[in-house]
Amino acid sequence: MSQRRAAPSTLTPMTDWPRVQLHVVTGKGGTGKSTVAAALALALAGEGRNVLLCEVEGRQGVARMFDVDPLPYAETRIATGLRTGPEEPGSVYALHIEAEAALLEYLRMYYKLGPAGRALDRFGVTEFATTVAPGVRDVLLTGKVFEAVQRNSRNKGARQYDAVVLDAPPTGRITAFLNVSESVAGLAKVGPIKNQADTMMTLFRSPRTAVHLVTLLEEMPVQETADGIGELRGARLPVGGVIVNQVRPRDLPQEALAAARKGSLDRAEIGGDLAAAGLQPSDEMIEGLLAEAAEHAERRALEDGQRTVVQGLGVPTYELERVAGGIDLGGLYELAASLKQQGMA
């Protein structure tokens, strides 16, 4: 049975994820996971809520999407949240997390190594540590996200967030990235790094976290999404929803699509419609339109098949239509509104 909810006609405060504080967004490369993460942050930041949007892949994609200067390793306000009612919306802050900077902060917070930590950085020790030991790198990256969700006495005066959205690595790496306790098992059996990894897992495996997967209605992304859900469940990490991105609008009714696939569209009717629009239809023009219609109908049939697979994954699903002309800030707000309408935020 489909898990997809029909979108209501007006914005609603209802959400499918009322207990979730950490929304992890992943997806196969090219599916638009960073765009979805940004839109989700805007949707969550309505009605006075402050949200932190984190990125860990070093591409400064958030800065480009929001048309702001490259982000520093500091929480920076980048946008106002989606307005969903009479109450003023909150703000979206962003954080570009770098492993090297996170390591220096870790040394300062846990080992009181301020200037000494910077000296290590000058000698290239931090780069060595975060490159040679990828498990440690993931602990540092996810550790900063953990700290933003669960702030304590070490973070006096730090801003508290109602939600944190993580633009995470792709689906193929997401389980290893979040399963930090397993990642460092071969590097540290005891000690502060192992303890921190174990502590983070209590959050990542709790109902306060949801890992959402972004896909397209294409065979490879859908299969990778299904595999990713299986791996996450195997690691006891909480699966959230599946967001089907870049859905094409339905320009033709089902009957016309079926006729297009069979090659039985009425040529005379098409010619009449073209003439009524002020065009002079030729056989070549009509043949071209029929070929395009058949191709469109075939693609639709393939997409519908993949939609059935997605709906059989047993998790809530959401659909975002393709935004004409590419994604700018206005487009992000459109997608945010759609996520809100469908109950994701």
Reported as a single tens digit per residue, the pLDDT across 157-209 is 789 999 999 999 999 999 999 998 876 655 555 566 777 788 899 999 999 99
Please give the average per-residue pLDDT across 68-96, as a whole number: 93
Output DSSP code: residue 27.
E
- Residue 30: what residue type? G
Backbone torsions φ then ψ of 240, nearest 5 degrees: -95, -125
- CA pair distance 90, 93, nearest whole angstrom: 10
Write the pLDDT tens digit of every residue in 9-44. Answer: 344 457 999 999 999 999 999 999 999 999 999 999
Edge to edge, what strands does the sheet with 239-247 contain? 76-80, 91-96, 51-55, 163-167, 22-27, 209-215, 239-247, 317-321
Closest CA to 42 of 247, 232, 327: 327
Kindly report the pTM of this predicted structure.
0.83
Mean pLDDT of the chain: 85
**Residue whose tokens read 């395009």:** 292
